[in-house]
Chain A
Amino acid sequence: MNPHIEVTVTPEGETSVETKGFAGTVCKAASKPYEEVLGSKSAERLTPEYHAAEQVAQPAEHRA
């Protein structure tokens, strides 16, 4: 899956920003500019894929 961001806005004006296809924590940096222009963050949920990617990435960082 190519990395992309989905911004969903309800008819009541409630907004959610969801990242898909990113590896690890880079998804946060990618979506942050969009979150900032839309308003104030009221909730955040990290998905299992987020943590799984972090666990894979850590050994590589230690070797560097």
Chain B
Amino acid sequence: MSHVVTIETKLRDPAALSAACERLGLPEPRTETVKFFDGAEQSGLAVRPPGFVYPVLIGEEGAVRCDTDEGRWGDNAFLGRLKQAYALEAAKLQAKARGHRISETSLPDGGVRLTVTAGTAGFGTTGNAYGGLA
């Protein structure tokens, strides 16, 4: 073991967001302009979970607007599940682009662990190989 980095998940890559929606059984996110309850109009990629009054809107640099009115207009826990699915799919896309092998393990607490190995080629150079936003 050498180092541990904690990451604040940012939903910046549309490809990973699409894969996350597919993983969660949701429709493909589409670009929309949404007028929220407070009258504010915002544009971005709209994720529409079942039972939500307003979509979860992903704006520039992964900024998220999720208006659930403390659970009355949608499940407060959904955003965590979306971020989890996004992180897993973003890591998988990166591994695929770099030729790394990846295995997925479900954890007892609902978390998921990905194990990435590089084989004989090694982990190689830095940089974003698959073109997702860095």
Residue A2 interfacial (CB < 8 Å) = yes
Contact (Cβ within 8 A) A6 B115: yes
Task: Specify the chain B residue showing the minimal Cβ separation from A53.
Answer: B2
Interface string of B119-134 (1 = CB under 8 A from A): 0001101111110111
Interface of B is mostly: mixed
Interface of A is mostly: mixed
How far apart are the CA atoms of A42 and B8 in the complex, in Å?
Answer: 6
Given contacts A11-B81, A11-B110, A47-B3, contact A33 B127 (CB under 8 A): yes
Task: Specify the chain B residue showing the minimal Cβ separation from A27.
Answer: B2
How far apart are the CA atoms of A7 and B88 in the complex, in Å?
Answer: 8
How far apart are the CA atoms of A44 and B10 in the complex, in Å?
Answer: 17
Given contacts A7-B116, A13-B83, A50-B2, contact A39 B110 (CB under 8 A): no
Given contacts A10-B84, A36-B134, contact A44 B1 (CB under 8 A): no
How far apart are the CA atoms of A19 and B5 in the complex, in Å?
Answer: 9
Residue A37 interfacial (CB < 8 Å) = yes
Given contacts A6-B114, A30-B123, contact A13 B6 (CB under 8 A): no
How far apart are the CA atoms of A20 and B8 in the complex, in Å?
Answer: 21
Contact (Cβ within 8 A) B6 A33: no
Residue A8 interfacial (CB < 8 Å) = yes
How far apart are the CA atoms of A6 and B49 in the complex, in Å?
Answer: 29
Interface residues, chain B, with chain A CB atoms under 8 Å away? 1-10, 12-13, 16, 62, 77, 79-84, 86-88, 90-91, 93-94, 98, 107, 109-118, 122-123, 125-130, 132-134
Can you report 10 A-B residue pairs in the complex whose CB atoms are below 8 A from each other? A8-B114, A9-B83, A12-B84, A14-B8, A18-B1, A22-B2, A26-B123, A27-B3, A47-B2, A50-B2
